[in-house]
Amino acid sequence: MKMFSKSISVVIVVAAVLLMLATPEVEARRKILRGRKTVTRTYLRPMAIPAWAIIVLTALGELIIGAVIYVILKKTILDTPVQGSYSVAPTNEV
């Protein structure tokens, strides 16, 4: 059970790092006092990874999630044995 909880925590940390890298540009403002006038400077920090990398990571994530859902549904729905509940209808032959 320890390995399972450790792997989940690793996945959560990796997901958090990827989400932090994919956050949009951050805008910071700072007021500078110069005499009677207040000057506001704006600093923009570009994203840590380019947009094409975000698209590729999103597409890979969707493929992985789709594959996991497919395997779960295949195991639970398609691979279950069919129980025979069919019986031949009685006929009234003379």
Segment (H or E) for 17? helix 2-21
Q: Is residue 15 within 8 Å of residue 30, measured between CB atoms? A: no
Q: pLDDT tens digits, residue range 17-52?
A: 877 776 665 555 565 555 666 666 666 667 777 878
What is this structure's pTM?
0.43
Segment (H or E) for 52? helix 51-73
Residue 54, number of CB atoms within 10 A of its CB:
14
CA 65-70-73 angle, to 5 degrees, is 125
End-to-end Cα distance, the chain: 68
> Domain map of the chain by residue range?
1-47, 50-80
